[in-house]
Amino acid sequence: MSAWRVSDVCTYIRDRMTMLGRVAALLVLAGALAGCQADELGYGPKHKRPVDSTIKRKMTELGMRSTSPIMIRIFKQESELEVWKQARGGRYKLLETFEICKWSGELGPKFKEGDRQAPEGFYEIMPSLMNPKSSYHLAFNLGYPNRFDRAHGRTGSHLMVHGACSSRGCYAMTDKQVQDIYALARDSFKGGQRSFQVQAFPFRMTPENMAKNRESEHMDFWRMLKVGYDHFELTKVPPKISVCEKKYVFDATPLVDGVPFRATAKCPDYKVPDRTAMLVAQKQSTDEEKFQTIVARIEAREERKERWEERQKAIAGLLGSDAPAAAEATVEAGSAAADGAATAVAVAPKQRPEGDVATAYAPAQKSDSGTPGGFMKRWLPFGSKTTEETATVGSIEGAAAPAPKP
């Protein structure tokens, strides 16, 4: 019996060693497979990689949990994608701004399949729209067309935020950027967020940008988007999005329980929180005043420029083909001055251009010479200080040049 027991023990040990060897081999194989998935952006499956350590530090500094909810804003004109994240207290703070690598189309919404236009509007991204197996590194679908888009008969599919820096109607990021954006979204879902909001705008909805693009056919649509933009700017909480009468409404609650918002039906009676409604109304009013002031300045500048150009044509006709090269150089300098003044108005609309401003109402200057140069100094709209009083000077008639002084 004792011999049999020793034999049984030996057999048991041998079997255990064989099993441990197999486990060790499996562990080595798993490590090898993980190594095969490593690249310059990290190791392991790309959709499971952690967010960059720099962003982690920012979350700590801003008082954010790694799994707290997120929201994304996109600005076409500025080519920027912002990730906002909920901090302590419930309000959202800007966590990171990514430069969009490429987006296709022009400023304005997407209308139909194949127009290669990146969408604008408000979209909700659920876990089912995340694509860990994207051919463009990683991606998530914007969910276009949403209820608003469908109400207007707009078509399209597979509109994404993805990597690979290549766009055909999408918002394309670099692989490194989309990996961090994907990780932030993934972690927010782990924390219980059911969907995160993407707000896609043509530009930052400021009075200056609205005035600059005032002649666009999309202005009514953009004014509607601006209301949602203002809701978030003031509350720092993603607004609740509803659609009725083919338009967006924000933070609205029906007065009658159970009455839904239907995209193409009449809006039910609804209420927006009093404080939010008051703040938004105040901001809209203030921004509209700024908008009108900026538009008036831009139109005045354009009118002055038009008169200035007409004056140059008249002067060119008087000087004829034998005018010296100095005249052409002076005209070019005046044009550059006008363009500089235009830029100053667009960038800083609250300030009038300083210094000498090219204008068609420059005062006539005395000349001690009868040369063409002296003639130009008298009639060309440049030179010494130009004041508002010069606006009373009449237009130049197409008469012959005055005789030179003795």
Phi-psi region of 137 (alpha: psi -120 to 50; beta: other; left: phi over 0): left
Quote the CA–CA distance of 171 and 103 in Å, as a whole number. 5
Among residues 137, 170, 231, 244, which one is catalytic? Answer: 170
- Bridge partners, 81 (sequence order): 74, 98
Secondary structure of residue 8 in the 3-state scheme: helix
Residue of higher predicted confidence among 65 and 318? 65
Query: Mind listing the pLDDT tens digit for each residue in 250-309?
Result: 999 999 999 999 999 999 999 999 999 999 999 999 999 999 999 999 999 989 998 998
pLDDT at 11 over 70: no
Residue of higher predicted confidence among 343 and 207? 207
Query: Mind listing the pLDDT tens digit for each residue in 367-376?
Result: 444 444 444 4
* Long-range contacts, stretch 289-298, CB < 8 angstroms, 24+ apart: 290/207, 290/208, 290/349, 291/207, 291/210, 291/211, 291/214, 293/349, 294/207, 294/208, 294/211, 294/349, 295/211, 295/214, 297/345, 297/349, 298/211, 298/212, 298/345, 298/346
Among residues 162, 165, 244, 267, which one is catalytic? Answer: 162
pLDDT at 382: 41
DSSP string, 106-170: -SS---STTS-----EEEEE-GGGEETT-TTSSEEE---S-HHHHHTT------EEESTT--SSS
Quote the CA–CA distance of 287 and 159 in Å, as a whole number. 32
Q: Find the mean pLDDT for residues 362-367.
A: 41
Quote the CA–CA distance of 288 and 403 in Å, as a whole number. 54
pLDDT at 257: 92
pLDDT at 44: 87
pLDDT at 20: 58
pLDDT bin (cut points 50, 70, 90) of residue 231 is: very high
pLDDT bin (cut points 50, 70, 90) of residue 105 is: very high
- Residue whose token pair is 């972690």: 187
Nearest to 158 by CA among 105, 100, 118: 118
pLDDT at 319: 82
Residue 394: exposed, middle, or buried by beta-carbon count in 10 A (0-12, 13-18, 19+)?
exposed
The two three-digit tokens of residue 260, written as one number: 């839904």
Q: Judge whether 244 counts as a catalytic residue.
A: no
Nearest to 134 by CA among 116, 158, 113, 118: 158
Query: Mind listing the pLDDT tens digit for each residue in 156-205?
Result: 999 999 999 988 889 999 999 999 999 999 999 999 999 999 999 999 99
Nearest to 67 by CA among 181, 161, 185, 195: 185
**Average pLDDT taken over every residue of the chain:** 81
pTM to 2 decimal places: 0.71
Q: Judge whether 170 counts as a catalytic residue.
A: yes
Other CB atoms within 10 Å distance of the CB of residue 218: 15
Lowest pLDDT segment from 5-9, 32-36, 64-68, 181-185: 32-36
Secondary structure of residue 40 in the 3-state scheme: coil
DSSP string, 276-316: HHHHHHHHHHHHHHHHHHHHHHHHHHHHHHHHHHHHHHHHH
pLDDT bin (cut points 50, 70, 90) of residue 353 is: very low
Query: Mind listing the pLDDT tens digit for each residue in 270-285?
Result: 999 999 999 999 999 9
